[in-house]
Structure 1
Amino acid sequence: MSLLKFIIFGFLFCIFSYGQQDKYDIKYLSLIECVDQAPGQYVYIGRSNLSYFHREFFKQNNEFVAGDWELNGSLYNSADDANNDSNPYIYDIESRSYLVPYNNPLIIYLRLNQVTMPPRQDNKHYVVKSVTNYLKYPPVFNTTLDGCEIDENNQKYNLNEDYLIKEFRSILGNPYNFEIFRKTTDISPIPESEWSNFILRKGESNKLYVKVTYKDGTIPCFRFYEITLKLVDYSISMENTEYEFCGTPFLVEGPNDSNLSNFEWTHNGIVKSTNKNITIDEIGKWIVSFENNLGCRSSVTVNVIPEKIWNRIEKITATSTSVVIHPYPNASIVGYSLDGVNFQSSNRFDNQTDPIFTFYYKTKLGCIFGPFTMDVATNFNFFTPNGDGINDKWDLRGKEFYKNYVLQIFNRSGKSLAYGKVIDILPWNGKVNNLTLPSDTYWYLITDGDKTIKTGYIVLKNK
């Protein structure tokens, strides 16, 4: 290569290299934003964020002194725009924020100006490149932890059994650390060596606070959640804790909890069984004690009292030929009978036309109650003449008793719709002159000469 070509090539290379150098000096600002979930399409950056940028910049760039330098308050998409103070992001007046399209990391540019009094034409400025990494808070929620009573002044809990601590620790590569505090303002946590045998003393708060941090110390995001400590109520895991006894032994099962062992049933201070189940054959208090997985011994008392005769029947309904017995919820009735000997599970009795109905019932514990006698002659006052074969006609129970008496049926205006002997009118199909009457309430009157024998109302529903 000739000397002239070498000189020209070197000259051009220098020019090219100079053109590739930064046209301005860039300073840097590194930020971390902790969030529960990623922002949407835009990030809203308001005045408080700008103040935060200002504080953090001077912390991270201590060669600059606040007061001598300041950020100009605008945000830019590129370094060129920041350098030229042109094309800033749009400032939304309604939200009082800059709308910046979301990315992670979020890169925006700011302009740092030199401050002099008075301002000078040759004041310096720098471009600041801000990089914000959005990191998620640990996902937490408040929990409840069961414990047991050692004595009236002390309760015992295994804090390792807290739901969230167990769940996170079961994850391969669990990223979190846990510290438990009695108060969120405490400096020192409860030593982890005390977690498995944590004692809550009488008068102490049953609230503890778990601080969840990242094992990666470069991630500053953390959360507190609350543990509520409570004693286990084992009675709720039993079918019942009060029974009535009428002479027939019955089986009762202890608390349905797989963490319990070493069962013992006592009655009047005498051990009756060391099984989970017991056959109850006497009235009184039956106490089942057991050991839980915390090493505490707890108990539940089962109260067995004499069978009470109480009103288990809510109501009786009847048609002209059937009777239905309606028990109250939880009445524990398992059978019904007309004679106290032959029982059926159904609460409906057909072919019952007498005005007086007598029945018995049997409870779950095998006790039989009755006889109960009900006047059902007036119970049947509702019919639906729609041709479905169910309650299509209205009739009277014990009609033979009334057959020669006079029956009148009226509407609510007092107009007579039917008149004649009971035996001739009943059963009534709800029609007058072969026309079905509208749905309404009607009244009837049964007389023997001037003597009123029976009165009542009828509900007709024809749809």
Structure 2
Amino acid sequence: MRTYRFLFSLISFFCVAVTNYTKAQYINTNITYTAQDLVDKFIGAQNASCITVSNVSATGELFGGTDLSYGYFDKGSSNFEIDEGIILSTGRVSKASGPNNNLQSEFVSGWGGDNDLIDVLQQSGLPTDNILNATSLEFDFVSLQSDKISFDYMFLSEEYRNTNCRYSDAFAFLIKEANTTNPYQNIALVPGTSTPVTSLSINGATLCERNIEYFGGFNGVNTPTNFNGQTKVLKAIANIQKGVKYHIKLVIADHGDSSGLYDSAVFLKSGSFTGNVNIGNDLTLDNADPLCENIPYRIQPTPSINDPLAEYHWFKDGLPLSVPITQSYYDVLNDEGNFSVSIKLGSGCRLQGQVKIEKAPVAIIDTSPIMICDDDFDGRYIEKLSKFTNQIVTNFSGNFKVEYYTQAGIQINPDNNFEFTQNPQDITVKVGAFSCTPDAYTLRFYHGSQLQMNYPQQPAPATIPVFDVCDNELKGSKTVNLDDYIGLMTTETLNPADVKFYEKISELKADKPSISKSQTLSPTQAEKTFYIRISKAGNFCDNYSSFKLRFKQPKKSSILKDTIICKSTTTDLEVEPAFDYYEWSNGEQGTSVNKIKNQKAGDYWVKLTSNGCTYQQFVKISEPQDLVINNALIEGNKVTVFAANGIPPYQYSLDGQPYQTSNVYENVHRGQHIVTVRDACGTAVQSFTIIGVKNVITPNDDGINDFIDYSDLLTKSDPRFEVYDRYGNLVFKGDVNNQFIWNGKLNSRALSTSSYWYILEWNETGNPKRVQITGWILLKNRN
């Protein structure tokens, strides 16, 4: 570390016109002040007779003779919180002035740290790696008038970044008795703690927020200084002995990186290093000793100042109070704030004292009558009075002491059950904050009225209301919502959340546990009892009752079936006469209307009431499609008739023969036939042909076997009739032109007598197998 004891002439040698005056909205900096000048500014001329100073020195960096790491500042016309004072920086003083538009990050090789600072950091459990770029101001002093000294300061840093929760430059205000080996005491602490002030211990960033009440804020571009953030104005305080010489060392250094990035600075308020007088202890909520309502309190120096020429200037929250300067005290009544006094002694020495006073909270009491309920329905009205504390003391907090007493003056433990035996019954409550004298109030408790139930609380078993649960769809079970029965149990207007259901009376009275409002009943659990508890906001007490659900099923008709009737006709719909009530879709209803007559085709229903439940049964009357014969399946001489539509059963007749129930005919001879099918509504007719096989042809024009006629093939699908000679030559092929008739000729020329091979094929409707007949035909000609 380099040590400099600068005289003004030496600074002038290095710098000409080094005073740095920035724009009006920024602070001004100045490095022409010697270490002694800076301490004189720090102490203030007004305190010269109170505090003697000696052995002044400053250490830091010269930056090539053009700048320093310590100096003087004033706020100019900016809004900076301190009017003027001293800067101790880990960088250049000149760069401390705004705007905040560049990063302050100085590093000079060989500019080291400070061992005293490292020792203090280690004692506080803080990291001490990479302590560099240290700047300090040291001096001895003796307080002649006070046993306490204090001064005001702010910590500003480039380390204030929203993402930095790890690094913080280190600084300390170290004090010890001079010329001793006593350890230093660090008085730069977060108020009310033993935690050193750093950018981490006082921080307003979301990720590392801590002691935010002392955080001044993050700085934008056009701010008085060129630092990213700052604390509020803080006060360092030290207890000392009058007349004893002390040594103080104000020191700051970079921490956390090897190159001294992100500079920081301490701003010390000029004239703030003063002696302190005791004007009383803080009366605060945190100390559990605030000022009680309507209790006067006098603020005055203790011990009193024995100086007839002393002048007293009183302030509240930094603003002067209208008090004569000769008045050495200030009386507070029902007021709070930061009170301070600045005392100018006849010698010109100035002392200051301050005290923080907060008012004890005043209880806001609601003396409205309070309703007591028999929540467990045992006939007794019992409650813990602590249940009503927040209702009675509407601004209740842990700062209030609340006590309850009977009218006879007997104290009641609010956490124990208390039984109200009178209606109404008065209780005395005493409320006071902290150690303040409590005020007494009279409260009136009365037995509340229960909500109205349609059935008494404890009905005899015979009087429990029973509600039927009908499985009207005959599904075998029925799921119900218990909320649907609220309106049957009470006439109160309730929200579903105000109602709970239970399976046991013991659970209801204990109000736990309730059951699901969705319940399923079935034949295996045909009856079930439920207990209902209702609550309602306002001056109402809970009430309860019970009801039973009974699972029931109706019956359905076994004779009512879907029916098919002939077109343009009607039929009757009928069910058993064993039901209690009937209601038909055509409007007919009554206790004996089990039949409706002359109904046309259409969809109908009937509601059948039995066993107290109703089943809606649906039925359909239809008109059939016209009766048709889909196919007469021919398999050789066997014929199978297939019919559809109409109204089965069918009857069958072949060629006018008597009807039969079978649709199969055997040994049907060759030729065309007519089959008739009838049902209840009409008949259908279809013709078919049986193909006969011939094996001889004698084309001699005698009218007998003159040709082979297979013209019936014209009625078949995909027919084939071909004739071949014994050499395999095709001599005839049937088609629609020759009508599948062969006269024994080839190209109008008679063929010779011989045997010829023939092929017959066709498809029968409805038969997937193709009919195929082959054999020999004997042809006899006269030649």
Q: TM-score, normalised by structure 1?
A: 0.30
Q: Which has the higher strand share?
A: 1
Of structures 1 and 2, the one with the larger relative CO (CA 8 A, separation 6+) is: 1
Of structures 1 and 2, the larger Rg is shown by 2
Q: Which has the higher helix share?
A: 1
